């Protein structure tokens, strides 16, 4: 970001000011141009599409595992392959689906919801996406080369150290984890600055949509949660490649250190996935109940409180490791306390919905599905916060059931509802209500069939992460049921994805505001124009569109012929200055490629690290090359020879 520069030359302008504005904010066309995009809508859509692809891949892995477990002693997957499958399933779903899809929605929606034309650091945004894409592709290439990691998504040492996991599998894992966290961190930086500094005038903090609050809290959580796991995965990587002894017990290292570092990230991670979904739910509930939400302040406080308390729970993943009792009791208390903000949110929504006769359209259905599933998952969460009970069910299928209830109920159902809800804004077309109902009921029924029996499986002795089990333990029927349920659930997801793909081309045209919703993104056309808003609005109330008086106050003075955004104050969103954003650029891709050379090359030889460093340096010079003059991009020169 560069502040307004008096010396900056203007570009020639022809046509109406709208045409000029459109050209200014246009992304380069064509396939080569694809690599130059920096616009938040482009990047957001890429994140969302890529993440959904990973959801399908991770889902297929889950189905294959369910097939393997459908009967005792099955031989569909060898133990080696099964271990790769569950490791890849966890890694894919947590790192390559859940977090990126939430980031994708945040990146797409944030500027639209706060009345900005783009995000604060457009090129950083693009960089984050390429890093994510490269990490994901590299991980799956390793899978197809038979080098997929096999020590679990949690990669406990010493199992994941060189001694017990020889070969390159865990090197791939450690490197890609470091890499994907980088992507999450840059997205978080980007979102924090955008939300705090680019809100339209009048959108003081207490008028921000709840979704934006959720994203703000999550971005701060990412800032604190990702560094520990990056440090840990880097320590693991160099333990393996350079022979350091952070985790080597025989050389004075420690096996539990990894668990602390990993779960210090790993537990907040759950809330990093869950809180954006809470923001989505608030948006859906407000729109479909056609009401102002009850308890805006408690809802915001609940998000913030969850963000803090979420960092105090990590030890409940380690109750069986024999920690002192006083410490464990503290973490029990913290783990239970976190139910209070969740309870508060749920009851605020109930109070809002009460008697509102909402429209039972798919987004609301998915929101209601959330209540049923998530409350159950939350309650089992309270149970396993208790040390003695956890000693029994820890690392069993009870836990598998619990966290799928929390994550699928708490994040995937709201996410599907949100996708249905914002689909018209993103594509300009509506999804089918009928398909929406089908996908909801299939997913809801299948989910419960698949995961409810797992509670009992855990209690009657079935541990997690077993590639098979023997007959005669009473586990057969429930496992078969879970497998059937998993396929029904998958059918629901398939219906949803097909509906989205078909509607993208042939759904009914949506118009600006098909749901009569309150937030700012619905005031612009669907899909939004290149510049998002013709005029930056001045916000008159917490529910921007519902509270608009009709006077249409807006900002004047932003130039049409270069990418200018209005910077406002953090608390009250008073205009402060104008910032000129960079346009399309090849440097994000160059930078991501250079960093990849270092990270991925490290798998073979440490020498790639200095090579990557040198390349990164070059990319950085290109990235920071001064841009006093905003020139018209070359492809436009060609199109407009008369200029």
Partner 1 sequence: MTGRAVTLGLAFVLLSGCDGVQSMLEPRGPHAARIATLWWVMLAVCTVVLLIACGLVLAAVFRGRGSDETELSLKQQRSLVIAGGVVAPVLVLLGFLVYSVKISQAMIAEPANALRIEIVGHQWWWQVSYPGEGRTDLNVTTANEIHIPVGRPVSIELRSRDVIHSFWAPNLHGKTDVIPGRKTHTWIQADAPGTWRGQCAEYCGLQHAHMAFLVIAEAPEAFYAWMNAQREPAPEPQSPSAVRGREIFLNGPCMMCHTVRGTLAESTYGPDLTHVASRRTLAAATISNTRGHRAGWVLDPQVIKPGTQMPPMNLSNEDLHAVLDYLETLR
| Residue 429 DSSP code | B
Give residues 445-504 in contact with partner 1 (rule: CB under 8 A): 459-461, 463-474
Measured from the CB atom, the residue of 255 and 491 that comes closer to partner 1 is 255
Q: Which residues pair with 509 in a beta bridge?
A: 429
Q: Which strands sit side by side in the sheet containing 564-568, from one edge to the other? A: 2-3, 575-580, 564-568
Minimum CB–partner distance for residue 174 and partner 1 (Å): 17
Q: Determine the 3-state secondary structure of 144 from DSSP.
A: helix
Minimum CB–partner distance for residue 299 and partner 1 (Å): 10
d(CA 228, CA 259): 11
Tell which one of 224, 311, 371, 438 touches partner 1 (CB under 8 A). Answer: 371
Measured from the CB atom, the residue of 369 and 446 that comes closer to partner 1 is 369
List own/partner pairs for 306-309 with CB under 8 A and 24 or more apart. 306/217, 306/271, 306/274, 306/275, 306/338, 306/341, 306/342, 307/217, 307/218, 307/220, 307/221, 307/271, 307/275, 309/334, 309/337, 309/338, 309/341
H or E segment to which residue 578 belongs: strand 575-580
Q: Would you count residue 224 as binding partner 1 (CB under 8 A)?
A: no
Q: Would you count residue 394 as binding partner 1 (CB under 8 A)?
A: yes
Q: Would you count residue 232 as binding partner 1 (CB under 8 A)?
A: no
Measured from the CB atom, the residue of 52 and 262 that comes closer to partner 1 is 262
As a whole number of Å, the end-to-end CA separation of the chain is 29
Measured from the CB atom, the residue of 191 and 348 that comes closer to partner 1 is 348
Give residues 124-153 in contact with partner 1 (rule: CB under 8 A): 151-152
Give residues 240-259 in contact with partner 1 (rule: CB under 8 A): 249-250, 254-256
Give residues 337-366 in contact with partner 1 (rule: CB under 8 A): 337, 339-340, 343-348, 350-358, 360, 364
d(CA 313, CA 327): 11
Minimum CB–partner distance for residue 210 and partner 1 (Å): 15
d(CA 94, CA 407): 10
> How many chain residues bind partner 1 (CB under 8 A)?
88
Binding mask 407-426 for partner 1 (x = CB under 8 A): --------------------
Give residues 61-90 in contact with partner 1 (rule: CB under 8 A): 72-75, 78-80, 83
Measured from the CB atom, the residue of 354 and 607 that comes closer to partner 1 is 354
Minimum CB–partner distance for residue 499 and partner 1 (Å): 23
User: Are 524 and 21 a contacting pair, CB within 8 Å?
Assistant: no
Minimum CB–partner distance for residue 294 and partner 1 (Å): 5
The residues near 443 (Cβ < 8 Å, ≥ 6 apart) are: 369, 413, 416, 489, 492, 493, 496
Q: Would you count residue 273 as binding partner 1 (CB under 8 A)?
A: no
User: Are 482 and 454 a contacting pair, CB within 8 Å?
Assistant: yes
**Token pair recorded at residue 97:** 């689906």
The secondary structure of 181-212 as a DSSP string is HHHHHHHHHHHHHHHHH-PPTT--GGGS-HHH
Taking CB under 8 A as the binding criterion, the range among 154-162, 187-195, 431-439, 633-641 that sits at the site for partner 1 is 154-162
Q: Would you count residue 14 as binding partner 1 (CB under 8 A)?
A: no
Give residues 15-44 in contact with partner 1 (rule: CB under 8 A): none
Tell which one of 294, 438, 487, 635 touches partner 1 (CB under 8 A). Answer: 294
């Amino acid at each position: 970001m560069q502040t307004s520069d008096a010396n900056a030359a203007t570009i020639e302008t022809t046509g109406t000011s709208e045409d000029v504005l459109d050209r200014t904010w246009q992304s380069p066309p064509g396939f080569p141009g694809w690599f130059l995009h920096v616009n938040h809508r482009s990047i957001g859509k890429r994140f969302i599409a890529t993440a959904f692809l990973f959801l399908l891949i991770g889902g297929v892995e889950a189905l294959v595992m369910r097939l393997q477990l459908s009967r005792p002693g099955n031989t569909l997957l060898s133990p080696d392959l099964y271990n790769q499958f569950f490791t890849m399933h966890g890694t894919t779903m947590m790192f390559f689906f859940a977090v990126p899809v939430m980031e994708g929605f945040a990146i797409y929606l944030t500027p639209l919801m706060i009345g900005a034309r783009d995000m604060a650091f457009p090129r950083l945004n693009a960089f984050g996406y390429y890093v994510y894409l490269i990490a994901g592709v590299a991980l799956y290439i390793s899978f197809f080369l038979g080098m997929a990691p096999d020590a679990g998504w949690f990669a406990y040492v010493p199992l994941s150290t060189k001694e017990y996991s020889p070969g390159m599998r865990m090197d791939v894992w450690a490197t890609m984890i470091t890499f994907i966290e980088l992507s999450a961190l840059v997205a978080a930086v980007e979102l924090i600055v955008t939300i705090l500094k680019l809100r339209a005038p009048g959108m003081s903090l207490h008028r921000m949509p709840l979704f934006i609050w959720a994203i703000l809290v999550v971005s701060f959580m990412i800032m604190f949660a990702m560094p520990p796991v990056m440090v840990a995965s880097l320590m693991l990587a160099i333990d393996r490649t350079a022979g350091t002894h952070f985790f080597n017990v025989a050389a004075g290292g420690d096996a539990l250190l990894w668990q602390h570092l990993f779960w210090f990230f790993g537990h907040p991670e759950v809330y990093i996935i869950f809180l954006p979904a809470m923001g989505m739910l608030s948006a859906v509930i407000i729109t479909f109940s056609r009401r102002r939400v009850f308890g805006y302040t408690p809802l915001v406080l609940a998000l913030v409180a969850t963000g803090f308390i979420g960092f105090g729970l990590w030890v409940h993943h380690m109750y069986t490791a024999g920690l002192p009792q006083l410490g464990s009791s503290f973490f029990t208390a913290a783990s239970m306390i976190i139910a209070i903000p969740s309870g508060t949110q749920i009851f605020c929504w109930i109070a809002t919905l009460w008697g509102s006769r909402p429209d039972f359209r798919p987004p609301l259905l998915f929101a209601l599905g959330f209540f049923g599933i998530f409350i159950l998952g939350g309650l089992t969460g309270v149970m396993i916060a208790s040390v003695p009970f956890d000693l029994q069910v820890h690392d069993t299928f009870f836990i598998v059931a619990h966290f799928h209830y929390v994550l699928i109920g708490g994040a995937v159902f709201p996410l599907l509802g949100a996708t249905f809800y914002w689909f018209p804004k993103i594509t300009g077309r509506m999804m089918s209500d009928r398909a929406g109902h089908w996908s909801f009921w299939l997913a809801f029924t299948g989910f419960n069939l698949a995961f409810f029996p797992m509670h009992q499986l855990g209690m009657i002795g079935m541990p997690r992460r077993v590639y098979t089990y023997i007959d005669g333990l009473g586990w057969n029927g429930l496992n078969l049921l879970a497998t059937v349920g998993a396929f029904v659930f998958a059918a629901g997801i398939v219906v949803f994805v097909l509906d989205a793909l078909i509607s993208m081309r042939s759904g009914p045209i949506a118009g600006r505001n098909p749901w009569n919703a309150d937030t700012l993104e619905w005031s612009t056309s669907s899909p939004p124009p290149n510049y998002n808003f013709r005029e930056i609005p001045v916000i008159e109330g917490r529910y921007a569109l519902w509270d608009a008086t009709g006077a249409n106050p807006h900002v004047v003075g932003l130039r049409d012929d270069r990418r200018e955004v209005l910077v406002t104050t953090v608390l009250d969103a008073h205009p402060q200055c104008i910032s000129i954003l960079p346009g399309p650029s090849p440097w994000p891709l160059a930078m991501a490629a250079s960093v990849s050379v270092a990270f991925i090359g490290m798998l073979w030889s440490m020498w790639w690290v200095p090579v990557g460093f040198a390349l990164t340096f070059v990319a950085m010079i290109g990235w920071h090359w001064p841009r006093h003059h905003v020139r018209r991009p070359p492809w436009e020169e060609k199109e407009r020879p008369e200029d």
